[in-house]
Structure 1
Amino acid sequence: MRIDAPSLYLGSFNSEQFWRDADISQLPAIADQQADAIVSVMDEFQFVFCNSPHDLLVTRLPMDGFYKDYLWELGFSFAHNEFPLIEKMSESGKRSPKGICELLLEARCDPYYQNLLARLSTLSPYSVEPLTEKLCQHYNLQGSGSDIEIVKKVNSKLFSHQLGKHLFPDTVGEIIYSASDLDAVGNRLLQSSPFLIKDEFGVSGKGNLLISSLQILQRIVTYISKQERDGKHTIFLLEPLLNKQTDFSCQLEIDTTGETKILSIQKMLNSGFAFSSIQTAESSFREFLDKSGYFEQVEAIAAELHRVGYFGPVCLDSMVLEDGKIVPMVEINARKSMGLINHHIDAFLTQFSTQGRLMFFSLGLSRHVEFSELLQRMEQSKILFLKDRPKGIIPLASNTFNVNWELHKASANQARAYKGRLYASVVSDNDEEQEQILNRMDNIFAELDIQRFN
């Protein structure tokens, strides 16, 4: 295989749902079809991983043409599918919950996709899905990654907890296997502090529930008990709520021989338990981690991952507590990550001697706004990042902005705004300049009658 062999980039940013067993009880959650639709088209972010005009990024929906031209003009290099893998909306008004590998396999008889994938040699997925290996076999691609059962195992919070107990004796938390266990252990934990119930494959605000009172605990126990009566099995991780100072993550790559390369440290800001923004950690923070022995702990974790059969990208979530203690392993994400995306954006920005901050704008749109119009307004306001003006905002996806428009058109309640998100890297040299950029962005939203919620 040549080093410069063209690669296929694709992925599902909600891959945890494909790893979770259907017969396991779940925590209560509010169904949000529009939020799910936004997540489904976050696959556009992966243009940052492509290295040449021969690399192919396949996404569920085609990118906005104006936006794709903008990325090419900046210097990003990739090819991209021009036709959707799925219809924007089914007759029932719902979008496909299928993984991208399954969708591409379903399209294998389509001459367009046959020709598009014929020239490729390798696959670089966001994460390993149940049909990733089958996709590689069908299109004769190398790089399917670890076996799906190993991937499911190492991504489980139960695995990371048990590994933490093995490597770091002061790891806190308990695994419970029934509603009655939840009742007993939860009552005991509440005597000291609030605690978290963590789903085995919860992610980004879903599957983590804060329990701060006996009343809330009893409601959850009742909710889980009902599922058990319906034949579900229960398994959750309970953790006392720690006094956290800083969330951060370590991006690393484990090759097939077990050699580990630490790529970056990313500091995170979260809203509740969900991602809010992320930026590359400053050198002083890395020095603090180094002096504390953190990187030796990362190497030990990576060695255990390889020992059980995993290789590939890893995002290790960690934290610093208010007393200065480092918790090296909050959980393991054995896949690519938002932190890795930000790392690649900053690698691109090194030519301009600057860095960005990856964030998103949570929006409410009452009418259809073309993404090209948004970009044009940003350019007119001089906040769109350009090669000859290397400060401002680099949008990271086009379809997250208005993927829900068709659902809104079919809705009986069109007076209500529909949800959109603008993911972006905000590039500036200082906090005051960044604030000015964000204020101008807010003015553009107001001009377009778009509400911003965060």
Structure 2
Amino acid sequence: MDKEFNLIQYLTTQRSKGVIIWLCNIGAEKYWSNISTGVVDRSEDVIVNRIEEMNLLICREQDVIILRKSPDKEYLDMLKKMGYSIPRILTPKNADLLTPISELVRNDIELIEELKNIASQTEDVFFSPYAVTYMEEKIAEMAGLKMLGARSQIGAKVNDKIFNRKISEELGFKVCQGKVCCSIDEIREEYEKLTNSPPYFKKVIIKEPNGASGKGLYVISDKDKLESNLRVIARFARKRADAKWLVEGWYDKKADLNYQIYISPNGTVDVFSIKQQLLNDTVYIGSKIPPDLDEEILNSYKQYGEKIGKYLFGIGYTGVAGIDSIITTDDVIIPIIEINGRFTLSTYISFLNNQIKDVKILSRYFRLISEKPVSHVDLIKEIDKKGILLEPGGREGAFVYTSGTLPTVLPEGQDKYIGRVFAFIASDSWDRIEEYSSILDDIIQSVT
């Protein structure tokens, strides 16, 4: 990898430089570790796989993006009008909506040959997947591409929540009260300790090391729920003799924060985005950019990010990492709740100010279950009718930034259309953003 390569510069001040080949291989955790996913919802997996379109928010015109399905022309035209650069789009042959995108790419010899051709045209070509697993390493090897990011074994290690706690302890950061447990009995003992000793936590969270997007997380509010979840955990634990869990107290929070860092191949650390996350229990539903926090606190997060980045570089990690943190109601900062050694959904909305300078932004996420299909065009028309659509060149309004996640096809065996809405609202005023957000809520309700 070119020691001078800096992704943040390529996406901001050096946008005409080089070519990046993008791949949003969301769900990569399945290749890193066995995760207790429970019952698989195929219709939900189809929607998750179409989140790949979010990657278009950070592409440059000379770039290449690999998508399992080419987006609707109307959606691409609208993105272009809004000031986003539309890259060259490649799709694997015989792509379905469930097979992991990297498997589709790896099995498409013609697509691999095309990637080879792109790589041979100039030395300044880089392969940037959402996460690096052995699948993306194989693609890079087959196509002769320079990979952005650390080797898959290091990425898997960084995504381990137990290792994240070790990093915090070694850096001298405040950590959540709790411990690593190696058996069901130890989990019970720690639950009793956390709930019956000061500060008497009302809830406890049990974390599997490599869970993601709310999977492998168990929020426990009473003993009945503890026992029912332990039965599930025990069932999966039988498959692994070395199974471990992180058991921690659930803190009352003033704020959930996410900060993104980029570690370049030469060890330079950029803290490029600090956001206040909106969560429903443990599931991400949006972000507030910038967070409404004192400058002193924001500066402290930059320092945390730099320290973490230097630590990760020391173990061989480079590329993007997303770090979740909390500020408790007692104003205690816990810098690391978990580290995602990969892109996150927050990464893709970190550069919206490239198009809309110096505004406040609220991202929103909705699950949408409808009696009828709802397309991107349909939703944009409804937003426009209410007078809150962000216009090209405008500085205030709402915009829906994915199309393929919307409920346009009736899932097999279902009687309702199921999808997800990803939108953002921009304004100079948080009060106006809250007003627009309320109107957007009403619009989503009206199309169900």
* TM-score w.r.t. length of structure 2: 0.86
CA distance in 2, matches of 1:221, 1:378: 45
Task: Tell me the distance in 1 between the aligned counterparts of 2:235 and 2:366.
Answer: 38
Q: Which residue does the alignment assign to 2:325?
A: 318
Question: What amino acid is the match of 1:10?
Answer: L
Q: Is the 8 A contact 1:59 1:85 kept in 2?
A: no
- CA shift, 1:6, in A, is 1.8
Cα deviation per residue 1:315-358 (whole Å; 9 max; x = unaligned)?
111111111111111111111223322221123211xx423211
Q: How does 1:79-118 map to 2 (within 5 A)?
A: 79-81=87-89, 83=91, 87-88=95-96, 95-96=98-99, 98=100, 100-109=101-110, 114-115=113-114, 118=117
Aligned-residue offset at 1:420: 1.0
Match of 2:341 in 1: 334
- 2:397–2:425 Cα contact (<8 Å) kept: yes
What per-residue deviation string (whole Å, max 9, x for no partner) do you get for residues 101-134 of structure 1?
2221111235xx7447632521122221221122
2:206 is aligned to: 197
Give the aligned partner of residue 19 of structure 1: 32
Unaligned residue ranges in structure 1 (runs of 5+)? 90-94
- Give SS of 2:109's match: coil
Counterpart check, 1:433 vs 2:432: yes
Change beyond 3 A, Cα 1:340–1:117: same
Q: 1:303 aligns to what SS in structure 2?
A: helix
Asked if 1 retains the 8 angstrom alpha-carbon contact of 2:373 and 2:417, the reply is no
**Are 2:296 and 1:295 aligned?**
no
**Distance in 1, Cα, partners of 2:354 & 2:381:** 26
For residues 79 and 236 of structure 1, do their structure 2 counterparts lie closer, same or farther at Cα, with a shift above 3 Å needed?
Answer: same
Residue 220 (str. 1) matches residue 229 (str. 2)? yes
- Structure 1 residue 199 displacement after superposition: 1.2
CA change 1:86–1:17 in 2 (3 A) is farther
Question: In 1, Cα distance between the equivalents of 2:379 and 2:301?
Answer: 43
Residue 283 to residue 217, structure 1, CA distance change in 2 (3 Å): closer
Structure 1 counterpart of 2:407: 402
Contact 2:21 2:128 in 1 (8 A): yes
2:82 to 74, 88, 93: 74
Contact kept, 8 Å, 2:367 with 2:419, in 1: the verdict is yes
Name the structure 2 match of 1:349.
356
SS of the aligned residue for 1:69 comes to helix
5+ residue gaps, structure 2: 6-13, 120-124
In the TM superposition, residue 74 of structure 1 has moved relative to its aligned partner by 1.7
Q: CA deviation at 1:305?
A: 0.7
Q: Residues 270 and 277 of structure 1 are in contact (CA less than 8 Å); yes or no, is this contact kept in structure 2?
A: yes
Q: Counterpart in 1 of 2:215?
A: 206
Paired with 1:138 and 1:84, the residues of 2 have a C-alpha distance of 15
User: Could you say what secondary structure the match of 1:67 adopts?
Assistant: helix
Letter in 1 for 2:130: Y
Of 126, 132, 135, the residue aligned with 1:131 is 135
Structure 1 segments of 4+ aligned residues over 6 angstroms from their partners = none
**Aligned residues: percent identity?**
23
Aligned to 1:49: 58
Distance 2:142 2:309 in 1: 31
Alpha-carbon distance change, 326 to 85 in structure 1, aligned in 2, over 3 angstroms: farther
Deviation at 1:228, TM superposition (A): 4.1
The answer to whether the 8 Å contact 1:62/1:84 transfers is: no
Letter of the 1:13 partner, please give it: I
**8 Å contact kept, 2:360–2:430:** no
Shift of 1:443: 5.6
| CA distance in structure 1 between the partners assigned to 2:337 and 2:311 by the alignment | 16
1:195 shift after superposition:
1.2
Q: In structure 1, what is the Cα distance between the partners aligned to 2:210 and 2:252?
A: 23
2:65/2:90 contact within 8 Å kept:
no
Aligned counterparts of 2:158 and 2:363: Cα–Cα separation in 1? 27
When the two structures are aligned, how many residues end up with a matched partner? 425
Work out whether residues 116 and 145 of structure 2, in 8 Å CA contact, stay in contact via their aligned partners in 1.
Answer: no
Give the stretch that moved more between structures: 366-375 or 256-265. Answer: 366-375
State the alpha-carbon separation in 1 of the partners of residues 303 and 441 from structure 2. Answer: 44
Give the Cα separation in 2 of the matches to 1:34 and 1:207: 20
Q: Which amino acid aligns with 2:335?
A: P
C-alpha offsets along residues 151-197 of structure 1, whole Å, 9 cap, x if unaligned? Answer: 10011101101111222264232111222222332332232323110
**Alignment-mate amino acid for residue 124 of structure 1:** S
Q: Aligned pair in 2 of structure 1 residues 84, 119: CA closer, same or farther (>3 Å)?
A: closer
Q: 1:119 — aligned with what?
A: 118
Give 1:362's aligned residue.
367
2:378 corresponds to: 373
Q: Distance in 1 between matches of 2:169 and 2:442?
A: 50
Task: Sort the Cα spacing of 1:435 and 1:376 in 2 relative to 1 into closer, same or farther, 3 A.
Answer: same
Q: CA deviation at 1:308?
A: 0.8
Q: How does 1:254-293 map to 2 (within 5 A)?
A: 254-282=263-291, 284-290=293-299, 293=300
Residue from 143, 150, 153 that aligns with 1:146: 150
CA spacing shift, 1:394–1:118, aligned 2, 3 Å: farther
Taking structure 1 as reference, are residues 338 and 8 closer, same or farther at Cα in structure 2, changes over 3 Å only? same
Letter in 2 for 1:140: G
Alpha carbons of structure 1 residues 84 and 70: separation in structure 2 relative to 1, 3 Å: farther
1:155 to 156, 159, 180: 159
TM-aligned CA distance change 1:131 to 1:216, over 3 Å: same
Judge conservation of contact 2:92–2:105 (CA < 8 Å) in 1.
Answer: no
Structure 2 CA distance for partners of 1:234 and 1:149, relative to 1, 3 Å: same
Q: 1:439 to 1:214 in 2, by over 3 A?
A: closer
* Deviations 1:284-304 (CA, angstroms, capped at 9, x unpaired): 5332343xx443333222221
Is 2:23 aligned against 1:10? yes
Counterpart among 157, 179, 187 of residue 184 in structure 2:
179
Aligned position for 2:9: none
Query: Any conservation in 1 of the 2:261–2:273 contact (CA below 8 Å)?
Result: yes
Match in the other structure for 1:92:
none
Maintained 8 Å contact 1:187/1:214: no
Contact 1:346 1:355 in 2 (8 A): no
Corresponding position of 2:398: 393
Tell me: CA distance 1:362–1:17, structure 2 relative to 1, closer, same or farther (3 Å).
Answer: same
Match of 2:67 in 1: 59
Call closer, same or farther: CA 1:308–1:445 in 2, change over 3 Å: closer
Shift of 1:238: 0.6
Q: 1:281 to 1:103 in 2, by over 3 A?
A: same
